[in-house]
Amino acid sequence: MTDSTADFCVVGAGPAGLTLALLLARSAVRVTVVERSRSLDREFRGDILQPGGMRLLHELGVLDAARERGAHEHDGFVVTDRGRVLLDSDYRRLPGPFNCLLSIPQRNLLDALLAECRRYDGFTYVDGSKVTELIYENGVVRGVMCGANRVLAHCVVGADGRYSKVRQLAGIGDGRIDNFDQDVMWFKLPAFGQRPRQVRVFRESGNPAIAYASAPDSIQCGWTLPHKAYRDVAGDGIGPLKEKLCAALPPYAELIDREINGIGDLTLLDVFSGNADTWVRDGLVLIGDAAHTHGPIGAQGINLAIQDAVLLHPVLMESLRAKDTSAVFFDRYTGPRRRDINRIMKIQGMQGRMMLAPGGGRLRPAVAKAVAKVVARGPIYRRVLGTLAFGNPNIAVAAELFAGGRTVGGN
């Protein structure tokens, strides 16, 4: 058995974990990241970054590096109902400079974050290592077991995703919320240089679908189907399934017919939201999807993960100074943050009912379009769009805690 020590042990090298690791490394403390995968080049579904997340990554000095690895800007998102524009959200009307949606493969973002983390002597990266046990001392989490390695730390942060092993080991429930009884079947098509400038939701026939341009030159598509209906849909064979996909995404019907050749070209995602029963134990904090999981509507996963890390960073630094890792101490993070998360989840629930209701809902298309126009032009919708785009606008990188006084946006 090999022992190592750190001030903080972060489990999970996703957007939340690596953002937090970079913040801590820049603050001249020892941080070890434990990641079960050996590669960042793995399949991710969520890769839309909102303006609020872009701003924070810019403050950390990694946004440009991530974009250089491949990204695609979107002007906003459009919902069409049987060929009619039901809702058109124009992000270009939001305050700049980050007034767009950014489609960026997560591996590009993670690669940029990890490269920056590795510039700091206090950073250690342990990949290909699965956490199997939490280490306790007098009832307080003091580290993790991963293979033959034991990592001891002042505090453990679980940032290991929606199916968090750390959360399970701590005996914390995932707080699953089924906002809509659907799953999403994801697949990619070649764009051949024809990359739309908007994220598009189609309510054409049957269950709705989503499509948007993804780097380097592809179209990411998602088709909704009733929860647990995959076995029946797949059982009908690829022919009938392709017919449904073509009907749901008319602009891409020819590509679907040519490029989708078998069930192996499709990936099923169980769509659900979740808000864990608690985000903390003595010596342990959960962030990102490990604490609160979000469906694909509203593109909030990466945004909220980055914001979690930025908000937790100064709390962890104060915890280290005070030598206090009690759950009560971490309430100064969880209390305010839960209010933010609950607000976003409420908005996502409303979005899901509007965008993903099967069959176009009960309203006739013309009536639905008229209602949507009134809603989209109202002050309430503008506030909702601002919340989705920027999250809590008061969140800012605590650069004053960085060693060496690095400037915002600098390296």
- Residue 136's Cβ-count burial label (10 Å; 0-12, 13-18, 19+) is middle
The dihedral formed by the CA atoms of 290, 300, 295 and 297, expressed in degrees to the nearest 10: 180
Q: Contact, 118 vs 21, CB < 8 A? A: no
Q: Prior bond to 379 cis, omega within 30?
A: no
Phi, psi of 89 (to 5 degrees): -100, 110
Structure tokens at 124: 């250690």
Helix residue spans in 161-300 (DSSP H): 165-169, 230-235, 238-248, 253-259
181/144 Cα distance (integer angstroms): 36
Nearest to 114 by CA among 177, 60, 172: 60
Can you give the pTM of this predicted structure? 0.90
355/206 Cα distance (integer angstroms): 13
Nearest to 397 by CA among 95, 117, 19: 19
Give pLDDT tens digits along the chain (411 positions).
688 999 999 999 999 999 999 999 999 999 999 999 988 876 655 689 999 999 999 999 999 999 999 999 999 988 888 888 888 889 999 999 999 999 999 999 999 999 999 999 999 999 999 999 999 999 999 999 998 889 999 999 999 998 999 999 999 998 877 666 678 899 999 998 888 899 998 988 778 899 999 988 999 999 988 877 888 887 888 999 999 999 999 999 999 999 999 988 998 887 777 899 999 999 999 999 999 988 777 678 899 999 999 999 999 999 999 999 999 999 999 999 999 998 888 877 766 666 555 544 444 444 445 445 545 556 666 788 888 889 899 999 999 999 964 433 444
Nearest to 146 by CA among 301, 253, 18, 9: 9
